[in-house]
Amino acid sequence: MQTHEIRNRFLSHFERNGHTLVRSAPLLVDDPNLLFVNAGMVPFKPYFLGEVPPPYDRATSVQKCVRTPDIDEVGKTTRHNTFFQMAGNFSFGDYFKEGAIELAWQLITGSQDEGGYGFDPDRIWATVYEDDDEAFQLWRKLTGIPEERIQRRDMIDNYWSMGVPGPSGPCSEIYYDRGPEHGRDGGPVVDEDRYLEIWNLVFMQDLRGPGSGKTDFPILGSLPKKNIDTGMGVERVAYLLQDVANVYETDLVRPVITKAEEMSGRRYGADPIDDVRFRVIADHARSGVMLIGDGVSPGNEARGYVLRRLLRRIIRSVRLLGVHEPVLGEFAAVVRDEMGESYPELITDFARIDQVVRVEEEAFLSTLVSGSRIFDMAAGEVKSGGGSTLPGDKAFQLHDTYGFPIDLTLEMAAEQGLKVDEDGFRRLMAEQRQRAKADAAARKTGHGDASAYRAVLDSHGSTNFLGYSELTTESRVVGLLADGVAVPAAGTGTEVELILDRTPFYAEGGGQLADTGTIVADGAEVEVYDVQTPVAGLSVHRGKVTAGEITLDAQVHAKVDPTRRRSVSRSHSATHLVHAGVRRALGTQAAQAGSLNAPGRLRFDFTSPTGAVPPSVLAEVEDEVNDVLLNDYDVRSEILSLDEARKSGAIAFFGEKYGDEVRVITIGDYSKELCGGTHVHRSGEIGVVKLLSEASIGSGVRRVEALVGLDAFRFLAREHVLVSQLAEQFKAKPEELPERIEQTVTRLRTAEKELERLRAGQLLSSAGSLAEQAEEVRGTALVALAAPDGVSGNDLRQLASEVRNRLGARPGVVALFSAAEGKVSFVVATTSAARDAGLAAGKLVPSFAEAIGGRGGGKPDLAQGGGSNPAGVPQAIASLRAAL
């Protein structure tokens, strides 16, 4: 049974049983605890946590998931995957244990002719929580499984929670016996390789308290409504039903390995080491394409770094298979062909996905060249110093700066007969991870911290936002917090968070900054400087009490700063126009990848299919946008179903999670986008848009910054004054300035080069006198001294070579030191006769490097390096003399 069919049968089964079909959410998730959606229930968290009332009693989905903690283990085993699909059915206060067990059993053991999976009931095992007698009896009653195939397990294995105070409960796992050839008898408690878990049924019935770990927390009581959350591993069911050894051999994954076989000429299954590489390619290709499809771009932080690492591991694995030409585009096409039936957006958006992987591969191949140079230098230093082990900090630098996996560094070192200090490397990696965890913990605002907000939401419901049409409202304070704790009142000078039953204030979101303004009650005033939505549906006004005392339940007058709102709205509407202009100029592959709409300015990020955007194209976009402003188009907003909006041509953004109904903003016939922000009424209100700059902010992602309205006008006025001043200075017309300035700069550069030539000639002319100062040290002529301060490394090298030449045929060593800005550079050169006598420049460096707090290395005839202690130069010279 093909994987697409397994998905379809799952969804059809639960739809027939009254479940609402929910499409997979994007892999990007608005959750401070997660980089990506890592389980099927993640999109439903707000419903389980009570943050938002569920729009249905029953739901079913097949959710895209990515888990990244075990990236380094992928390929080494057949169990670890980064991307997988989790099929699930969910009940929000509707059916409970009996319904979950019965529905799962019907699908698993139902005949394939009638839409089931057709698993042999005699090979199904179940586990239950150790004291969940109800679940145990239901398995016996509903399925007829004998008692010996229902095993009890403890809290670590069969109790579920989110890791924070909130919903929790026992779970029941379904296992399939693969047969005695796969392991020992005795069920899942004995061998989880033979008995493979395929489905987990979570019975969400308890309310847990605070605590750490999987067991260290109290159960505070029962939930008022009991819920069901299940997860079935689609890929695991696929490899059982397709009768293959593991997920890598299933119908959607094996074609990627086949493509790698075609490219490399090697065969999967022939060599265990190559098999690891094939599996890495197959897994990471799927994960990478799915992440890019949902809007992730390769970068050096967070999600972008994970994606970059996945793609670079593919490139490295392919190179180890003997393929050196670009490959990511071909692998991406295979993933598109195999996964497109379930995720058609991979087909419609493939041009952008393909461009992202090709740009990233090109950048990394270039990085490999520069990184290899760094490796060669580091390896040369080790060898010249007589060592045999590359230091851990060098391996870490290659990993952290150049993206070299440690495996690649190990291989390159082995080729040069070197080992790598893996312990040192892993220690530095651990320290980096610890810093990242500490940083994440410092910024974390997890679900446990949102309990006060959820309490307000439970009591009073969502905030009614009136800001599209109103800038002032009469409201009531339904929530008042100070330092994150609910309080009845707050006096002058207190930083507070206010929650109103209705508000005109726009909460930050969609790239638009929050409104500011005031909230005034009888004798009290709060200055609002920020508005956020820490839980869905609730606007939290953050501010400071500037007069009187604000109290819970007070009637207040909420007023948005109209000047700021209008300015931000102009920027947001201008962003839509810039987006439309860029797409018209570069094509639909230029998709928005982020934005910032602030008073008087905007920032617009987009994927670029061609790299840097030429200034002429930007000028055309700017002209076109300002032409739209002159035409003073009507700006309309309407609420449509998501399907209606897409059919109307409205642009939706990658990675955004949309509801069934969406707000569409249309500007004339020029722009149409899904957007929840505030906008002008007519395009002419924007005034003027001035594009300031365009630059790269990551692989395949560009950023345009612009000024809007009065800020743009003031900028242009300042530019006019500046041009007038330059024209006066150069005695030229404004249109002649570029040529005149270029001529002046060219003359200056020519003069600087001439000065440099004269200075270098003067320096080299001193070589003869320096050679005459050579002292005899046990038959060797030694010239060791400090050159004039500020001599560059290149000049120092030339001077050392020239002094060496002046020493003639006798054994000679030249060591020159130069200090600048608190650091010292050095060069050591040896004559041919000195080298014949066993004096190699690179091997002399360690004799004096410690004195200047430095290091270096090189070849027998010339070595160089640097240090951090210029004051140690006299001691370094003495140490070198003593070594000779």
Per the CB < 8 A criterion, the answer to whether 662 and 722 are in contact is no
Please choose, from the candidates 735, 882, 755, 736, the residue with its C-alpha nearest in 3D space to the C-alpha of residue 815.
882
**SS3 of the chain: helix, strand, coil, percent, to 5:** 45, 25, 30
Structure tokens at 647: 């059919």
Strand, helix or coil for residue 227: strand
In the DSSP assignment, the letter for residue 221 is E
Rounded Cα distance between 604 and 533, Å, is 23
CA distances from 561 to 469, 566, 572, 663 (A): 14, 9, 17, 24
Q: How many CA atoms lie within 13 A of 682 on its CB side?
A: 7
| DSSP reduced 3-state for 486 | strand
3-state SS of 760-814 is HHHHHCCHHHHHHCCEEECCEEEEEEECCCCCCHHHHHHHHHHHHHHCCCCCEEE
Residue 866 backbone dihedrals phi, psi, to 5 degrees:
-155, 170
β-strand pairing of 635-641 with 661-667: antiparallel
Q: Using a CB cutoff of 8 Å and minimum separation of 24, what contacts does 518-521 make?
A: 518/558, 518/559, 519/475, 519/543, 519/550, 519/556, 519/557, 519/558, 519/559, 520/556, 520/557, 520/559, 521/477, 521/548, 521/550, 521/551, 521/554, 521/555, 521/556, 521/557
Note whether 776 and 744 are within 8 A (CB).
Answer: no
Backbone angles phi, psi at 837, to 5 degrees: -85, 0
End-to-end Cα distance, the chain = 78
Residues 6+ apart with CB under 8 A from 21: 11, 14, 15, 59, 60, 61
Determine how β-strand 20-21 pairs with β-strand 472-482: unpaired
Amino acid at 380: G
Q: 401: part of which helix (H) or strand (E)?
A: helix 392-402
CA distance 353 to 357: 6
Known binding residue 675? Answer is: yes
In DSSP terms, 651 is beta-bridged to 673
Which residues have CB under 8 Å from 253's CB, separation 6+? 235, 247, 282, 283, 286, 338
Residue 152, phi then psi, degrees to nearest 5:
-95, 140
Phi-psi region of 819 (alpha: psi -120 to 50; beta: other; left: phi over 0): beta
Contact 489, 521 (CB under 8 A): no
Smallest CA-to-CA distance from 787 within 824, 822, 821 is with 824
d(CA 168, CA 226): 10
**Which tokens sit at 272?**
């265990």
Furthest-apart CA pair in the chain: how many Å?
104
DSSP E strand stretches across 483-634: 485-486, 489-491, 495-500, 502-503, 517-521, 524-532, 540-547, 549-551, 555-560, 592-598, 601-607
H/E/C letters for each residue in 152-180?
Answer: EECHHHHEEECCCCEEEEEEEEEEEECCH
The answer to whether 679 is annotated as binding is yes
Helix (H) / strand (E) element for 87: namely strand 83-92
Binding site residues for Zn(2+), as ranges? 572, 576, 675, 679
Annotated binding site: 572, 576, 675, 679
